[in-house]
Amino acid sequence: MLPRVFAYSSNHAAPPNQSSRTPPPNNTNAKRQKLLRYLTKPYAAPPLLARFPTLHLAVRGLLFLLAAILSLHIFMEYFYTFISAWGISMLPTIASSGDWLLISKYYRRGRELGVGDVVSYKLPLRPGEAGVKRILGMPGDFVLAESPSKSGSMIRVPEGHCWIVGDNLVWSRDSRIFGPLPLALVTGKVLYKFSWTAWWNRIEHGLKDAEEVDYDVD
């Protein structure tokens, strides 16, 4: 028995003398002739809804699905995304697994970004993959080319690029490997992280004011 919404109820009474025990007649030839007639003379065919009474439900369902896909795409591409992060490159800030990130797409293409922001970006060396790192330098800034090193060689971030480094310096593939990242590859800024143990936590930029230590004072 079909559920009530799917059951076809017509105004017409059921044709008499039709027992459910007798199998339907095998009128394949008649059906074929009918189909041929409908195809050659479309105006002779009964309306689609009369032939397939649940058609409007299927169309309704498909349209609703399409509308949901469109709205979700627009929301996730231009407003906010909520995705799970994986990997140990941002370890003190973002766990290696199980953390979910709320990413604002307003900051895509480097709009209104600053040093210290955690951003999501498309990997330049592997198209189709994405990552999350922290910005250490904006265009014109001088940054250390290799952070844990004794050489201390610095480079200047070129126009339209940024320098991104993971918080876990010893295990992170970032600008120290592929160089400055074009701001066009930045897809958004991480605002909050969510995990089942700590719930919602805002991701701050890790910058502090420089402490003035006066060593002369005893």
Instruction: Decide whether 189 or 193 has the Cβ nearer to other proteins.
Output: 189
**Is the CB of 34 or the CB of 60 nearer to other proteins?**
60
Rounded alpha-carbon distances, angstroms, from residue 151 to 41, 146, 147, 179, 204: 85, 8, 9, 17, 30
For other proteins, give the closer residue by CB, 36 or 68: 68
Write the CB contacts of 197 (distance below 8 Å, at least 6 apart in sequence).
Answer: none
Considering beta carbons, is residue 101 or 185 the nearer one to other proteins?
185
Of the residues 89, 120, 172, 175, only one is catalytic, namely: 89
Among residues 105, 120, 133, 193, the one annotated as catalytic is 133
- Our finding on whether 67 is near other proteins (CB under 8 A) is yes
Residue ranges in 151-170 that form contacts with other proteins under rule CB under 8 A: 158-161
Site residues (CB under 8 A) for other proteins, limited to 98-127: 109-110, 122-127
Q: Which of 124, 208, 133 is closest to 163 using CA atoms?
A: 133
The 126-145 site mask, x for binding other proteins (CB under 8 A), equals xxx-----------------
Query: If binding is defined by CB under 8 A, does position 70 make contact with other proteins?
Result: yes
Asked if residue 213 binds other proteins (CB under 8 A), the reply is no
Which residue in the block uniquely carries the two structure tokens 């969510």?
194
48 binds other proteins (CB under 8 A): no
- Smallest gap from residue 103 Cβ to other proteins (A): 17
183 touching other proteins, by CB under 8 A: yes
* Shortest distance (Å) from residue 10 CB to other proteins: 23
Q: Is 133 a catalytic residue?
A: yes
In whole angstroms, the minimum distance from the beta carbon of 129 to other proteins comes to: 9
Catalytic, 105? Answer no
DSSP letters, the chain, are: ---TTTS---SSPPPSS--SSSPPP--HHHHHHHHHHHHH-GGGSPPHHHHSTTHHHHHHHHHHHHHHHHHHHHHHHHTEEEEEE--STTTTTS-SSSEEEEEEGGGGGGTT--TT-EEEEE-SSSTT-EEEEEEEE-TT-EEESSSS-SS--EEEPPTTEEEEE-SSGGG--SHHHH-SEEGGGEEEEEEEEEETTTEEEE------PPP---TT--
User: What is the total count of residues that contact other proteins (CB under 8 A)?
Assistant: 25
Task: Give the interface with other proteins as residue ranges (CB under 8 A).
Answer: 67, 69-71, 73-74, 77, 109-110, 122-128, 158-161, 182-186
Catalytic site positions? 89, 133
